[in-house]
């Protein structure tokens, strides 16, 4: 079981997210808990203000230290263990699948969602949080980044996915590798047929085809020249395939 505590100014943003699909099932099954806390409840201001103008001037507003620090301390104190404090920020450590795996080992994570121009620096000084970014771009708030983190982590919690083979074969499980192309019914759609090997019932040939397709796709999409030199193996399914038809559908060119 993993517990998330999300500290936000907009708890309602998570309503739909918590009510659907894998996350809703995982919560129902007691595998995941998500608690939402409104940072504004820790404001000491009679108007519940949590932000103010930056000292030194400049655009926008900055989240004040007292409500954020005191909210974190109260939330940490309300359950055991106190949990790892994560500060969501574009300046943080970039989220990758290896980092998701590390985070998934924690029993409890507190996710602090920023807004406006971000955090008063003393929040970092006092809380010494683990700063995480979901990528090199700027969102309006930390709520979507928090959802991304929760969404990635819960896939790794035992019991959440029906079939854990999904995890072994999926993109980024091995750094630099993405998944092979997938097909389902119908067998032919707009003149494009499912590759014959997938209909052959030959599991070894299918596995070899998928390995090769994953290798080619990784090479093409992730631009990893080191993979070019990997041996192909001598299974007949590793004979050259029409990769253009499979890997670059005209709609993606």
- For residue 2, the minimal CB distance to ligand SAM (Å) is 20
157: left (phi over 0), alpha (psi -120 to 50) or beta: beta
199: left (phi over 0), alpha (psi -120 to 50) or beta: alpha
Neighbours of 230 (CB within 10 A): 11
Under the criterion CB under 6 A, does residue 141 sit at the interface with ligand SAM? yes
Under the criterion CB under 6 A, does residue 90 sit at the interface with ligand SAM? yes
111 - beta bridge partners?
6, 86
Under the criterion CB under 6 A, does residue 8 sit at the interface with ligand SAM? no
Under the criterion CB under 6 A, does residue 113 sit at the interface with ligand SAM? yes
Residue nearer to ligand SAM on the CB measure, 135 or 236 = 135
Is the sign of the CA dihedral 219, 223, 224, 228 positive or negative? Answer: positive
Under the criterion CB under 6 A, does residue 137 sit at the interface with ligand SAM? yes
- For residue 62, the minimal CB distance to ligand SAM (Å) is 9
* Packing angle, helices 143-154 and 97-104, rounded to 10: 80
Contact between 51 and 65 (Cβ < 8 Å)? no
Under the criterion CB under 6 A, does residue 61 sit at the interface with ligand SAM? no
Q: What is the DSSP letter of 171?
A: T
Residue nearer to ligand SAM on the CB measure, 89 or 218 = 89
Under the criterion CB under 6 A, does residue 142 sit at the interface with ligand SAM? yes
Under the criterion CB under 6 A, does residue 118 sit at the interface with ligand SAM? yes
Under the criterion CB under 6 A, does residue 135 sit at the interface with ligand SAM? yes
Give SS3 for 204.
helix
| Of 109, 123, 121, 118, residue with least CA distance to 141 | 118
Q: What is the DSSP letter of 246?
A: H
Residue nearer to ligand SAM on the CB measure, 119 or 180 = 119
Residue nearer to ligand SAM on the CB measure, 117 or 170 = 117
Residue nearer to ligand SAM on the CB measure, 25 or 124 = 124
Residues in contact with ligand SAM by CB under 6 A are: 88-91, 113-115, 117-119, 133-135, 137-142, 145
């Amino acid at each position: 079981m993993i517990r998330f505590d999300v500290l936000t100014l907009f708890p309602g943003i998570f309503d739909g997210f918590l009510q659907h699909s894998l996350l809703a099932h995982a919560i129902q099954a007691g595998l995941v808990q998500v608690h939402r806390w409104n940072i504004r409840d820790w404001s000491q201001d009679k108007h519940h203000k949590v932000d103010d103008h930056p000292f030194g001037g400049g655009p926008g507003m900055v989240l004040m230290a007292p409500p954020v620090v005191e909210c974190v301390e109260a939330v940490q104190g309300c359950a055991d263990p106190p949990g790892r404090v994560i500060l969501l920020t574009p300046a943080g450590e970039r989220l990758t699948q290896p980092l998701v795996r590390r985070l998934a080992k924690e029993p409890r994570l507190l996710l602090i969602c920023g807004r406006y121009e971000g955090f008063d620096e003393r929040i970092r000084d006092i809380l010494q949080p683990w700063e995480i970014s979901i990528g090199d771009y700027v969102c309006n708030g930390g709520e979507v980044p928090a959802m991304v983190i929760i969404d990635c982590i819960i896939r790794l919690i035992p019991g959440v996915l029906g079939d854990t083979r999904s995890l072994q074969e999926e993109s980024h499980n091995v750094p630099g590798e993405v998944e092979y192309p997938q097909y389902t019914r119908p067998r032919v759609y707009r003149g494009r047929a499912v590759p014959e090997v997938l209909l052959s019932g030959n599991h070894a040939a299918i596995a070899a085809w998928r390995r090769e397709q994953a290798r080619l796709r990784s090479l093409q999409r992730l631009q990893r020249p080191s993979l070019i030199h990997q041996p192909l193996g001598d299974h007949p399914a590793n004979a050259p395939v029409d990769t253009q038809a499979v890997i670059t559908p005209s709609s993606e060119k």
